């Protein structure tokens, strides 16, 4: 699995790491039961602090996508389906793109609401 981060991005590095894993789960590159690189190894290869990697892994644990065990590392769980992971990643991209365009969070929410209304008509 390939991890890519962009230090110049407004998205925190830990969130970028989580997005890499989420995307790999969504596209089927990573499967349930697979072990991810240790936080120490991944941090060294990306040139970031180990705690940055752990923040990303923790976020995925909270989403139900990873299981973290001392001595065993991070393992992909059967949590939400790949479709849900894909949808979550798309939503995060929508928010990131909207912020890059200068839209507020309320503007993004209005866009989504308008999309829902348009689908119902």
Asked whether residue 50 is domain-assigned, the answer is yes
Q: Assess if residue 4 is contained within a domain.
A: no
Domain presence at residue 1: no
Is 2 domain-assigned? no
Residue 111 sits in a domain whose CATH number is: 1.10.10.10
pLDDT at 50 over 90: yes
Q: Is residue 5 part of a domain?
A: no
Percent of the chain residues topping a pLDDT of 90: 47
Quote the mean pLDDT of the chain: 87
Q: Is residue 3 part of a domain?
A: no
**90-96 mean pLDDT:** 87
Band the pLDDT of 81: cuts 50, 70, 90. Answer: low
Kindly report, residue by residue over 94-121, the tens digit of the pLDDT.
Answer: 988 999 999 998 999 998 888 887 655 5
- Is 22 inside a domain boundary? yes
Position 80 pLDDT exceeds 60: no
What's the domain range around 89? Answer: 13-120
* 71 to 43, 56, 68: CA distances (angstroms): 17, 18, 9
- DSSP character for 35? B
| Residue in the block written with tokens 């308008």 | 114
* Confidence tier at 70 by pLDDT (50, 70, 90): confident
Task: Count Cβ atoms below 10 Å from residue 111 Cβ, excluding itself.
Answer: 13
Among the ranges given (6-10, 80-84, 88-92, 101-105), the one the predictor scored with the smallest mean pLDDT: 80-84
d(CA 36, CA 19): 14
Domain count, the chain: 1
Per the domain annotation, does 7 fall within a domain? no
Residue 79: band (very low, low, confident or very high) from pLDDT cuts 50, 70, 90: low
């Amino acid at each position: 699995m390939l991890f890519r981060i962009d230090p110049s991005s407004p998205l925190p590095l830990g969130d970028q790491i989580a997005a890499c894993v989420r995307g790999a789960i969504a596209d089927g590159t990573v499967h349930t039961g697979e072990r991810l690189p240790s936080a120490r190894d991944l941090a060294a290869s990306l040139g970031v602090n180990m705690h940055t990697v752990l923040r990303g892994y923790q976020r995925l644990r909270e989403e139900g996508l990873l299981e973290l065990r001392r001595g065993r590392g991070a393992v992909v769980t059967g949590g939400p389906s790949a479709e849900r992971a894909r949808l979550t990643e798309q939503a995060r991209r929508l928010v990131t793109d909207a912020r890059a365009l200068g839209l507020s969070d309320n503007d993004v929410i209005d866009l989504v609401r308008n999309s829902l209304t348009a689908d119902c008509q």
